[in-house]
Structure 1
């Protein structure tokens, strides 16, 4: 069984790779893609290996295409969980942003625009922005 598995693995190796076979002093047969130490007599068996038996028929290709193009239930569940996890993380980041913004404008603050210039905001406008953020946080983050 072990030799069959090893041969299968060796048949999958690229065609340009050499495959060596040798028997050690205990009589065990070894296979490798690198030659053994000099004390062992190795035989290059690369040319004797046949390619793996692969069916190139249309029916088999269609089966493989069907199998690998549609995600299975496990993959669908994984993607669903991942997407929901991403949405939850995005929502959490958004709520963190809103709460931080609320803390920032709750006290004395100076507003600036995108160019870094001061924007005149009255105390009433600031309080209105605080109320608006509190409502938004209550609605979207609780």
Structure 2
């Protein structure tokens, strides 16, 4: 019994043992596939010989070709990608800081505004100038901030 099971497993593993595949069309026009020949359809075709094996093992040369095409990243490539990622993170951080600063300035401009010169003296700004600056900041925020 054990010997028969072992031989059966070996035959299946080596691909020497294969089943038959049948194709037929029923009375409603539907196409069916099965590993057993249907009793009620005399027109079932054995299509086993028309199918290719799906799990065929590639040869060593084909595997080597694939390994050459899909090589792992070199240390230099990994370092480059790391630097690129760090640069992108820094740029994103700077963009977020600039956006936050613009939003803060906009909220200041929407309220009561008092501009000061470098000496600390108040600069009088008209309401029109304040609105113009606020609109400019809104455009910049819409353009550069999400």
TM-score, normalising length: structure 2: 0.47
TM-score, normalising length: structure 1: 0.49
